[in-house]
Amino acid sequence: MGETLRNIGTRARRVDALEKVTGRARYVDDLELVGMLHLKALTSAHAHAELLSIDTRAAESMPGVFAVVTGKDVPGENQIGVQIADQPLLASGKVRQMSDRIALVAADTAEHAEAAVRAIKVEYRPLPVITHTDEALAPGAVKIHENGNVMTKKQVIRGDVEQGFAAAAAIVEDVYEVNYQEHAYLEPNGCIAIPEPDGGVTIHASAQAPFYIQKAVARVLGVDYARVRVIQATTGGGFGGKEDYPSEPSACAAVLAMRTGRPVKFVYDRAQDLAWSTKRHRMKVTNKIGADGEGRITAAQVRIDCDAGGYTGLSAIVSERSNSTAFGPYRTPTARVDTYVVYTNNLFGGAYRGFGTPQTTFAMEAQMDELAARLGLSPAEIRRRNILGPGDETTTCQKLTESVPGIETFEAALARSGYEQKRREFEAFNQTSRWLKKGIGIGACMYGGGLHAGGQFLEGSGALVHLRPDGSVLVSIGGTELGQGAFTVAAQCAAETLGVALEHVRVTPSSTDFVTDSGPTVASRTTVMSGNAVIDAARQLKGRILEAACELYGVPADEIELREGQVLKRDGTRLGSLKELANTAFAVKKVNLSAQGWYAPPRKTWDNARGNGDAYSSYCFAMQVAEVEVDLRSGRTRVVRVTAAHDVGQVINRTLIEGQIEGGVVQGVGYALMEDLKLDQGRCLNPSFTDYLIPTTLDVPEVDIVLIEQPHSAGPFGAKGIGEPSLIPAAAAVANAVSEAVGYRFRRLPLTPERVLMSLEEAGKLR
Amino acid sequence: MNLEEITLKINGAVRSAPMPSAIRLVDALRRLGYTGTKEGCGEGECGACTVLLDGRPVNSCLLFAKQVQGKEIVTVEGVGRGHPDGMHPFQKALVAAGGVQCGFCTPGVVVTGAHLCDTRPQASVQEIKEALAGNLCRCTGYAKIVEAVQVAVAELGKQS
Ligand code: FES
Ligand code: FES
């Protein structure tokens, strides 16, 4: 780059910090409109049943009720399935999970709508409820969908895995099972649909992917995309939970808005949100790895059974990430992955930060420890011998070329945490301590940034940048702000490129009216995608105004620099202000001061049959070391410290990156230790924060962060994504630490005190 | 539905409107335009609805508005009253430390945190964590929130 960066690598204040800290930020439930109606939904009483009849007559004549709709009233297609058309918006014929909607009511108040919902009568003929992938796959199992219970099957084939195992000196094989995780964003789902005079509709939604909502709403209404405007309201967290799911409430509200001609608000309470929205998938992972006498992996094989719930949703692509990166950051000379995505009548699986990889990472990292023990190596040493480096091929036979600091990141985590020494200390401590046991564990991850090759049709991202005649800048991006700081990063990229002070950059709420379909804000892709798109637009503008400056000041364009709102010569002499330049460019020279930016990574090739090819555009490494204390009397685990070393390419905003890592680690700690959704016959038994516990201030470890910067040429200023890698290895590291502390291998999550005690009791470890 | 005139003292002002007699405090505040107060759970678990009632942090989702008529209520909109720029030092510290992400927990965190800074400037890190244990935040992992309390306490110390 040559030039010093002024707005990159800083601790710039969030562009939305003031509005949030003063309570002014406007979330969707803070919007009230004249004549607005409230929507309530009736959901199924069974997880699996035939739907015999729905009687809405009584409900229709209840006070305040404007409309009651069922599947037959959807004006367009009664279909919400984003990947496969297997999910009606409103149940028709059959229900397959508890969250299936039977009918919707719009009324003048939420209370009236609620009362009308209770007056709807439904007749069901219950069917056997399938509660586990093993049951779904058993011969003769009742079919949840006509074409059977296997939604899709994926695989990766690399070399001859049997030969690989034949060459192994040690082989470990085991089954790991992980439960759901709820996103538990603090703001439940919500949206408002406003019918527009031109026959279209405007949606304000708490959402990660306005373009998904646009398509879903257009589909159920049977209108053009161009008539559906989706504006992202300030969104109180997403973590993947607001990728695909918000299309459902938005489509419901849109149907009723069109039907009644009134704005319709649909905001969930916590119990509804917990019971209805998607979750991190339950998975059963059967992992087998073999290594030679030196600890070098010769073969890796895994079977993944992913519990999708009643519908496809995003499960087919979530499991593609499990499938393509099941062996983490390790060399696998021969490998075989078989991934089954299976329908059940459990909760609906969907996108959640890490997207199918925290589950496989938990299994793989446990297996690495087991393999190390078998070979008499330390957990650190076996990893060191297998971590992928530049020039190596991934499991999908993709050659890693640029910015591959796996081993650097790993060693940084070990060194910073004092891993080897602590491991020895803890071992000595445990010799003499009867009840309190200490452990240290490693979790390692290599994360593919951006969408998988299979999803690359969604990969392009846009931005719109206007330079105003007073030198201020307005930016719109196709990505969304979920709390992660996307708008701040976008503003920093614009400020840096245009040489304008950050406080003169405003980022608009994301709207489908401003920018072309930019895909979802997921896959840790937004810094890279939206960042690059902003830079593209800003560079175009810069070129145009430098041309104007060249004429205005009589200095060659390549001699001119824009810096913090000033126009300077390279030697530092001031030529004028950006304000005066922008105004002259606009008023006198009639320069177009708006630019559309676009970024799409190069096309990736992918062979679906063998699961071979360039799965992702680039990769980043995340290596975490967790230190725990387990109290054998209570079974309770305290995570004392997590050292998190992350390969981030280039820091854009240090505070934001730290925030992502601290938050991600804590979600991972919750996943490892306490978050436990309980189901009975497909029904969620604990849909509340009273019974589904997430970490509080008292549950969190100290998080010690090390950042490794090895810029990647495809990233804005060299940056890579960080959102998900922060979470993925955390649960694995904690679980390994707990296993080491108590000398017993846990193969299930979460490690609640009850599970720890029961497992140790059974294993005879508590005597 | 029975409507009743409900009168509340909010951030030093008296506000009233006819509302259902069993309305919760969180709903009453929001109807009166104090939408900074959020509902994250409705059952006293998340703290997003925290306000001060006669100087003590409470969950406004667990109270009926009727019960608290005549008491002094402070919401996130009123925490900064009397401070330079209308911002309590804890609000400023939270911004500077980066203790705000999605912002949905933030109003509750601000009310609890500012009250803590004002009333217990000697609090240890453990005590700060205990005071904030009723405010769930899913984004930040809490480290920067705790740091902001420490910074703000130091700042308030300088001011007095
Ligand atoms: S909304 Fe009151 S504590 Fe959660
Ligand atoms: S900032 Fe999102 S919940 Fe705290």
Pair (A390, A250) in one structural domain: no
Give the rounded percent of residues in chain A with a pLDDT score beyond 70. 100
Pair (A566, A580) in one structural domain: yes
Which pLDDT tens digit goes with each residue over A282-327? 999 999 999 999 999 999 999 999 999 999 999 999 999 999 999 9
Pair (A269, A288) in one structural domain: no
- Going from the Cα of A646 to the center of ligand 2, the distance in angstroms, rounded, reads 22
- The residue whose CA is least distant from atom 3 of ligand 2 is B137
Q: Which of B100, B116, B130, B146 to mutate to test the interface with A (most CBs of A within 10 A)?
A: B100
Question: The domain that contains A324 carries what CATH number?
Answer: 3.30.365.10
Within an 8 Å CB–CB cutoff, is residue B15 touching chain A?
Answer: no
Specify the length of chain A in residues: 767
Pair (A522, A616) in one structural domain: no
Residues with CB under 6 A from ligand 2: A 186, 237, 483; B 100-106, 137-140
Give the rounded percent of residues in chain A with a pLDDT score beyond 90. 97
pLDDT given at position A457: 86
Please determine, for residue B124, whether its predicted confidence score (pLDDT) is greater than 80.
Answer: yes
Residues 76-135 of B with CB under 8 A from A: 76-77, 80, 86-87, 91, 94-98, 100-107, 110, 128-130, 132-135
Give the rounded percent of residues in chain B with a pLDDT score beyond 90. 96
pLDDT given at position A3: 61
Q: Which whole number is the average pLDDT over B36-41?
A: 98
DSSP run (H or E) holding A116? helix A110-118
pLDDT given at position B159: 83
- Going from the Cα of A669 to the center of ligand 2, the distance in angstroms, rounded, reads 17
Which pLDDT tens digit goes with each residue over A343-391? 999 999 999 999 999 999 999 999 999 999 999 999 999 999 999 999 9
The two beta strands, A473-477 and A505-507, are parallel
Domain-ending residue, one of A223, A251, A276? A276
Please say whether the beta carbons of A156 and A612 come within 8 A.
yes
Please determine, for residue A273, whether its predicted confidence score (pLDDT) is greater than 80.
Answer: yes
pLDDT given at position A734: 98
Please determine, for residue A148, whether its predicted confidence score (pLDDT) is greater than 70.
Answer: yes
Pair (A288, A272) in one structural domain: no
Q: Band of the pLDDT at B77, cuts 50, 70, 90?
A: very high
Choose among B95, B135, B139: nearest Cβ to A21.
B95
Average pLDDT, chain A: 97
Residue A193 to residue A242: CA distance in whole angstroms: 17
Which of A407, A333, A331 is CA-nearest to residue A163?
A: A333
Residues 6+ apart with CB under 8 A from A428: none
- Greatest distance between any 2 Cα atoms in chain B: 52
The two beta strands, A264-267 and A37-43, are parallel
Q: Band of the pLDDT at A2, cuts 50, 70, 90?
A: very low
Pair (A292, A379) in one structural domain: yes
Q: Which whole number is the average pLDDT over A731-739?
A: 98
Residue A672 to residue A459: CA distance in whole angstroms: 32
pLDDT given at position A207: 98
Its domain, for residue A529, covers 17-24+460-599
As for how many domains chain A has, the answer is 3
Please determine, for residue A524, whether its predicted confidence score (pLDDT) is greater than 90.
Answer: no
Which of A324, A344, A331 is CA-nearest to residue A151?
A: A344
Q: Which whole number is the average pLDDT over A438-442?
A: 98
CB pair distance less than 8 Å for A694 and B48: no
pLDDT given at position A1: 38
Pair (A622, A733) in one structural domain: yes
Choose among A21, A111, A658: nearest Cβ to B100.
A21
Residue A734 maps to a domain: yes
Residue A150 maps to a domain: no
Strand pairing partners for A758?
none
Residue A566 maps to a domain: yes
Pair (A580, A639) in one structural domain: no
Q: Which whole number is the average pLDDT over A744-766?
A: 96
Q: Band of the pLDDT at A456, cuts 50, 70, 90?
A: confident
Which pLDDT tens digit goes with each residue over A653-709? 999 999 999 999 999 999 999 999 999 999 999 999 999 999 999 999 999 999 999
Residue A724 to residue A275: CA distance in whole angstroms: 24
Residue A5 maps to a domain: no
Domain-ending residue, one of A599, A624, A653? A599
Residue A707 maps to a domain: yes
Going across the sheet that includes B13-20, the strands are B13-20, B3-10, B72-74, B50-53, B56-59
* Ligand 1 atom nearest B45 alpha carbon: 3
* Ligand 1 atom nearest B47 alpha carbon: 3
Give how far B46 is from chain A: nearest CA, Å: 7
Burial A360-383 (b: 16+ CB within 10 A, else e): bbbbbbbbbbbbbbebebbbbebb
Give how far B50 is from chain A: nearest CA, Å: 12
Pair (A594, A624) in one structural domain: no
Residue A483 maps to a domain: yes
| φ/ψ (deg, to 5) at A364 | -65, -40
Give the number of C-alpha atoms closer than 13 A to the C-alpha of residue A645, restricted to the C-beta side: 23
Q: Which whole number is the average pLDDT over A449-464?
A: 91
ipTM of the complex model? 0.98
Give the number of C-alpha atoms closer than 13 A to the C-alpha of residue A602, restricted to the C-beta side: 7
Strand pairing partners for A643?
A625, A704
Chain B residue numbers touching A661 (CB-CB < 8 A): 141
Pair (A233, A102) in one structural domain: yes
* Helix/strand/coil percent split, chain B, to 5: 40, 20, 40
Residue A655 to residue B97: CA distance in whole angstroms: 8
Chain B residue numbers touching A206 (CB-CB < 8 A): none
CB pair distance less than 8 Å for B102 and A16: no
Domain-ending residue, one of A276, A291, A308? A276
Which of A413, A406, A414, A411 is CA-nearest to residue A620?
A: A406
What are the structure tokens assigned to A169, written together?
């000196």
Pair (A653, A753) in one structural domain: yes
Query: Which pTM does this prediction carry?
Result: 0.97
Residue A357 maps to a domain: yes
pLDDT given at position A455: 87
Q: Band of the pLDDT at B1, cuts 50, 70, 90?
A: low
At A351, is the secondary structure helix, strand, or coil? Answer: coil
The domains of chain B, with CATH numbers, are 3-78 (3.10.20.30), 89-159 (1.10.150.120)
Pair (A297, A437) in one structural domain: yes
pLDDT given at position A522: 86
Q: Which whole number is the average pLDDT over A62-79?
A: 98
Residue A159 maps to a domain: no
